[in-house]
Structure 1
Amino acid sequence: MNKRIRVLHVAEAAGGVERYLQTLFKYSDKEQVENILVCSQNYNYKKFKELADRVIVLKMAHQINPSSDIKVEKALRKIIKEIKPDIVYAHSSKAGALARIADLGLKNKVIYNPHGWAFNMQQSAKKKEMYKWVEKILAHFCDKIVCISDAEKESALREKICKPSKLQVIYNGIDLEEIKNTVPKTRKELNIPEDAFVVGMVGRLSKQKAPDVFVKAAKLIKQKIPNAYFLMVGDGELRDQIEAMIHNFDLDSSFFITGWVDNPTSYMKIMNVGCLLSRWEGFGLVLPEYMACGVPIVATNVDAIPNVIKNGENGILTEKDQFIKVAKAVTLLEQDKTLAKKIVNNNDKRMFQYSGQRMNQQIKLIYNELKK
C-alpha cells in the first residue's frame, strides 16, 4: 500500500479561507491524502477535527506583530520538524509568510495560496509596495502558488511576483451537496413578511465588502419597491456604524443583521437577489453559493468578480461604490422576471466548475506532481 501524501495546512484568516478548507477536506481522498491543519484561534477547530486527520491551534495575530509572529514561526518550525509533512500548504498572506519563513531549509515542498493578494486591497501606496516586495521575496521559498482566479494570476504576472510556471489557477470550490441539502430559513422565524422582496448581502461587515454601499442602495430600493426587505448575513468591525446608518435612514423595520452564522446558504435560499459589492475581491466564494441557491446576483466589476459573473448573462455588474446603480440593478431584477430567470438558468449550467470535487482533483494533481 502506497504511503499517503502528508499535507500540513497553515491558516490564520477565517471566513472564506475557513470555508475553502472545509470543502477541501470534505472531498479529499482520505486513502491517498493525510490532511493536518494548523489554524488560528479564530477557527471552529471542533468542526475541523471531524474533517482533518489532526488539528493544532496556534494563537496568531491578524496584523503584523513582531513578537507574536516570531513565537508563531518558532512553534510552526517545531511542528513541521515533528510531523515531517511531504507538503506544507499555506493559506492567505499572513499564514503564507509565517509558514514559508518557518519552513526555510526543511526538506518538503511548499504550496502557497494567497486567497486574494494583499497588495490589491485598498490601502496606502506605501503599504501596497511593501506587500508586493514581501510577496516577491517569499515567492522564492515555495514551489507552487495557487491563484483562485484568473485575475489573481494576472495581478501576479503584472507585478512580476514570480516566474509564470510557478502560478496555477484553481477556482475555489463549494460544497454543492451540502448546499442542496441545506434546509432554508423561513421568513416567519426571521420575522420577515411573507410577501417581502428580500435583498441580501452575505459577507463580513468590513470596508472590503462595502456594507455602507448596500445600506445606501437599500434606501433607494425601498422607495421603488415598498415591500423590499434587507438581510445582511455576517458581522464585523463596521457593525455599529452600519446599524447607525440603517437607523438614520429609518430602515430599522426593514433590516435584519444575523451576525456570524454557520450556515449562510440557509439564509441565501430565501433571498430574491443576492449582492456582493466588494471594493476588492480575490474570488468571491459567495458568488457560486448564490448560484447554487438559485439567487440572481448583483455584484461589483472588480478584480476576480468578472471572471465569475458576466454582465447581463449570469448576473448584473456595477462599478464599485455606485449605490445608485446597485439600486437600479436590484429594481430591474424585481421588475424583469424574465431576466432574473435567465440569470438563474445560466448559473445552473456553470455549477460543476465551482464544485468541491473538481477543486480537489486539481489540488491532488499538484500534490502528486510535487511529490515525484
Structure 2
Amino acid sequence: MNLKIMHIGEYVKGGVATYLQEVVKYQNENREVLNLKVMLSDTNSDKNFSMNKEDIEAYPYERNIKSIIKAMFYVNKNIKEHKPDIIHIHSTFAGFFVRVPLLFQKKRYKVVYCSHGWAFCMETSALKKKVYEIVERVLATRTDKIINISSSEHEEALKRGLSYEKCELIHNGISTDLHEGDIEYRIDPSKINLLFVGRFDRQKGLDILLKFFESYQNHNIKLHIIGESILNNDDIKIPSNVVSIGWINHEHIDSYYKLFDAIIIPSRWEGFGLVAIEAMKNKKAIIVSNRGALPELANTSNGYVFDLNNLDTLKELLDNLNKEELIVKGLNGFNEFEKKYTSKKMNTEIIKLYKNIL
C-alpha cells in the first residue's frame, strides 16, 4: 500500500510536538508510506521533524478569528494541491479550521482527528464545555476516525455523544531511546528527591504544589522543578525545600530523570501525561493527581495517586515514602511502559487504523 499522508497541526509544541515527532519519524521510515507532508503554524511550533524539510509547510498564523479564517483557506488550498489519501489532524483549533470547510464541500480523502486532550475536559465553565461538545459533535460528521490518547479521554468522548464507531483508543507512546548527556546538576542523596517537569501554567498545577511545599515541613523531602524559570517572577515564592532548575536541553532530559527518586505530576487536567511515561521509561515511580488520564497511568505497582482537592492525601503519601519502595515501583513502571506506551506500539496501531478506513 502506497499511503499519501498529510499531518496538520496548529501550535505544534509540547506534548503535541513530541507525539507528532514520533509519528513522523516512524512514517517517514515506513515503506508503506509513499508521501508524507506536515503543515503547522509558523508561530509557536517546533519544526524539528525527521523528514525532508521541503515537505514541512509552515503557514502564517496567530490565534485570532482573522488568522483562523486565513488558515482555513490556506490549508484547504494545500490539501487540494497535494491530494493526500489521509489527513491526520492534531489538536482542537486545527480540527476546527480543517474540518469546517468539509461541511460545505465533497470530502475526497479520509480524515483522522486527534484532539490531544478534549477541550470539554478542561477546567472551564459548563457553558464553554457544552459549546466545545456541540462543535466536536458537528465536526465529527466529517471525520472518519477519532483517536483518543487515553481511556479517560475515550470514555469522555463517548459520554459526550461522539460516535462509538468512529472513536478509537490508541495510547500515546514515546521512543525507547534515551536522551542523555553530561549534566552538572547534583542532588543530596540522603533526601528523597522529587522532580516536577512542565510548563508553569494553570493546567500543570505547579502553583498548587509550591503552595503545598510552603507549609510542608518534612526535611527528608526535596522538590526540584524543570520548566520555565520562576526565579524572576515576583508573584511566586519558592520555599526552602524547593529548587528551580529552569529550562534544560531536552536532549539531556533522561539524564535528569535518572537523578531523582520519583516524578510528581499535580495537573488540574491532563489528556494523557507524557511526563509520566517518560518517568516510567527511566524506571522512576510516579506521584500523580487524581485528574484526567493520570490515575490510569499510576497504579499501586508503579506509583501513587493523591486527591488534588484534599492535599492531606499528598502529605500522608509523602510522609510514608521510602527509597526502596520507590525503586521497586520504578522498575514496575518500566515494565508497564514497555508493554503499553512505546512509540512502536502506538505507530503500528495508527497505520493499522489508516488501512482500515481506506
Return the TM-score normalized by structure 1: 0.87
The 3-state SS of whatever aligns with 2:278 is helix
Q: How does 1:1-372 map to 2 (within 5 A)?
A: 2=1, 4-13=2-11, 14-28=13-27, 29-33=29-33, 34-40=35-41, 41-45=43-47, 47-48=48-49, 50=51, 54-62=55-63, 65-103=64-102, 104-160=105-161, 162-177=162-177, 179=178, 182-183=179-180, 186=183, 189-190=184-185, 192-193=187-188, 195=190, 197-221=192-216, 223-226=217-220, 228-235=221-228, 239=230, 244-247=235-238, 249-250=239-240, 254-259=242-247, 261-263=249-251, 264-310=253-299, 312-333=300-321, 336-352=322-338, 353-371=340-358
Q: Helix, strand or coil for the counterpart of 2:320?
A: helix
Q: 1:107 to 1:307 in 2, by over 3 A?
A: same
Q: Indicate conservation of the 8 Å contact 1:22/1:48, yes or no.
A: yes
Asked if structure 2 preserves the Cα contact closer than 8 Å seen for 1:202 and 1:286, the reply is yes
**Which amino acid in structure 2 is aligned with residue 231 of structure 1?**
H
Gap change, CA 1:329 and 1:110, over 3 Å in 2:
same
State the Cα distance separating 1:53 from its structure 2 match: 7.3
Which structure 1 residue ranges, 5 or more long, are not aligned?
Answer: none
User: CA distance change for structure 1 residues 292 and 53 in 2, over 3 Å: closer, same or farther?
Assistant: farther
Cα distance, 1:214 vs structure 2: 1.7
Of the structure 1 ranges 340-349 and 320-329, higher mean CA displacement relative to structure 2 is found in: 320-329
Counterparts of 1:52 and 1:303 in 2: how far apart (Å)?
A: 36
1:193 Cα deviation after fit: 4.7
Identify unmatched segments of 5+ residues in structure 2: none
**Residue 89 to residue 273, structure 1, CA distance change in 2 (3 Å):** same
AA aligned to 1:318 is F
Aligned partner of residue 133 in structure 2, secondary structure: helix
Q: How many residues align?
A: 350
| TM-score normalised over the length of structure 2 | 0.90
Q: Could you tell me how far 1:295 is from its partner in structure 2?
A: 1.3
Identity among equivalent pairs (%): 29
**C-alpha RMSD of the superposition:** 2.3
Change (3 A) 1:15 1:368: same
Residue 256 of structure 1, CA deviation: 1.5
What's the secondary structure of 1:19's corresponding residue? helix
Distance 1:329 1:51, change over 3 A: farther
